[in-house]
A and B are shown apart, each in its own frame.
Chain A
Amino acid sequence: MALIEVKNLVKTFDGKAVLQGINLELSEGQSKVLMGASGCGKSTLLRCLNLLLSPSSGQIIFKGEDITRPKVDIRKIREDIGFVFQDFALYRHLTVEENATLGLRKLKKMKMKEAVEKATYELERVGMFEHRNKYPAQLSGGQKQRAAIVRALAMDPAVLFLDEPTSSLDPQMSREVVNVINKLFLDNITMLCVTHDAFLAKYISDTIVFIDEGVVVAEDIAERLFYESADPRIKQFFMSVIDHR
């Protein structure tokens, strides 16, 4: 059974359908990357999946439960979905360690010692332990994004969503973050990532889902989608993305 199953998902803004019937499946331990031109609906889809945006119609089955039905416990679902943002979104009045432990203490009701132990494990995993007492303003972009990944992983989510995790970073910092996400991929962390970064997509995905004008056009492994697709939309997109690197 799929961990996440999306059936005919539609999202409209002021009458304009940004998602026009998305169908998608993500199994446990699987990593998929959502790609497509700007405005195709990738980030909207990610936000609909943890209900930061309410879908207009369609179904999202998460762990066998339809989370689009009324009176669903959104809080419990969100605790189970880690979310990493393009602009890091770290709580800037808290240290890296406090960012990671806040959710554990306040949502999972862990004792401080237990929360710190869990955070320490994740900090070491992404090479951020030595920076644990720094505030976001004292970190580089790459370190901020790694801290954001720690915060998400510390909650032990069933799936990790990453929304353009490298697009605010320069190439060197971007490489640093790609390495971390690749490590998570090799650890079989279930991931759904939105990106324009072909390099990142290639190294962290089982398959790439190509979205155009709010529908899934194709899903395949990176090599085949990058170089062998006959669809002109896909060819044009990857030609521009890969050429830019």
Chain B
Amino acid sequence: MDAFIKDLIAYWPQILAGLKNTALLMVIMSVTGLSGGIGIFYLTLSKHKIVRTWTEAYISFFIGTPLLVHLFLLYYGLPELGISLSSLTVAVVGFTLNVSAYNARYLTTAYNGLDKTELEAARAQGFTQTETFRLIILPQVLRLSVPSLTNQVIQNLKDTSVAFLIQFPDFFAQMQEIASVNFQFFKVYMTAGLVYLALVSIIVLAARRLEKHVALPGFQT
């Protein structure tokens, strides 16, 4: 048997644990990132200018700076202020802050394409701003944003691979370890690439099903 295959079998428990961590991180940050994105998007519609200004500053900061900077700030920077967090906590918090900003931007873009007379109709009917957001705006912008949000989930999966830089034992960290032992860098990283591709394909298939499920006449997504 090829030595490389032997190594994969030998390291299988670690690889599996890494895959579980990768999946866990991706699922958590996709859920928290979407929730955070919705919350930030809601704040962008605030009546108060100061809230809108701060929200815009938040989005600009997290979209305009590298993800790795956020992770390093939290993991290596915060201990200087006496706050030490585990690598999982840093990964979840760091990714959530970053992904929320991107998701808020996607939802805002979809919102800009909405027919605003619907919002006036909701006000005229007696709905509050929060009810209008929950019942009229959100169901529409989420539908319109399915392709962008799906791309973000794919990006989330791929971005988990930088978490090993803050000592998070994800799938890529395990593959890195194998490579550092057997020195078969090409085979190891090619295998890692193919695994990511397989996972992305699963997400794409799920997203297509979701798109069909939420499709409505008049909604071009």
Which A positions have Cβ atoms within 8 angstroms of B? 50, 52, 75-76, 78-79, 81, 83, 85, 87-93, 102-103, 106-107, 134-138, 148, 151, 155
Are A135's CB and B124's CB within 8 A? no
Interface residues of B in 116-139 (CB under 8 A from A): 117-118, 120-128, 131, 135-136, 139
Are A85's CB and B121's CB within 8 A? yes
6 contacts between A and B (CB under 8 A): A78-B126, A81-B124, A85-B124, A93-B219, A103-B125, A137-B219
Q: How large is the interface on B (under 10, 10 to 19, 20 to 34, 35 or more residues)?
A: 20 to 34
Distance from A203 Cβ to chain B, minimum over Cβ atoms (Å): 25
* CB closest residue in chain A, given B119: A89
B143 within 8 A of A: yes
Are B143's CB and A93's CB within 8 A? yes
Interface residues of B in 75-112 (CB under 8 A from A): none
Are A92's CB and B135's CB within 8 A? no
Select one of B126, B136, B217 contacting A91, CB under 8 A.
B136
Kindly state the separation between the CA atoms of A155 and B126 in the bound complex, as whole angstroms: 11
- The total of interchain contacts (Cβ-Cβ below 8 angstroms) comes to 71
Which residues of A are found within 8 Å of B120, using beta-carbon distances? 52, 85, 89
Q: Is the interface of B mostly helix, strand, loop or mixed?
A: helix
Are A78's CB and B216's CB within 8 A? no
Which residues of B are found within 8 Å of A106, using beta-carbon distances? 127, 131, 135
Kindly state the separation between the CA atoms of A75 and B118 in the bound complex, as whole angstroms: 17
B218 within 8 A of A: yes
Q: Which of A81, A91, A107, A136 has the most CB of B within 10 A?
A: A91
* CB closest residue in chain A, given B128: A75
Are B123's CB and A102's CB within 8 A? no
Are A107's CB and B217's CB within 8 A? no
Select one of A83, A93, A134, A138 contacting B121, CB under 8 A.
A83
Kindly state the separation between the CA atoms of A77 and B201 in the bound complex, as whole angstroms: 53
Which residues of B are found within 8 Å of A148, using beta-carbon distances? 121
Which residues of B are found within 8 Å of A88, using beta-carbon distances? 117
Select one of B115, B125, B135 contacting A78, CB under 8 A.
B125
Kindly state the separation between the CA atoms of A99 and B216 in the bound complex, as whole angstroms: 15
Kindly state the separation between the CA atoms of A90 and B123 in the bound complex, as whole angstroms: 13
Kindly state the separation between the CA atoms of A138 and B140 in the bound complex, as whole angstroms: 17
Are A137's CB and B217's CB within 8 A? yes
Distance from A131 Cβ to chain B, minimum over Cβ atoms (Å): 13
Are B117's CB and A92's CB within 8 A? no
Which residues of A are found within 8 Å of B217, using beta-carbon distances? 134-135, 137-138
Which residues of B are found within 8 Å of A136, using beta-carbon distances? 218
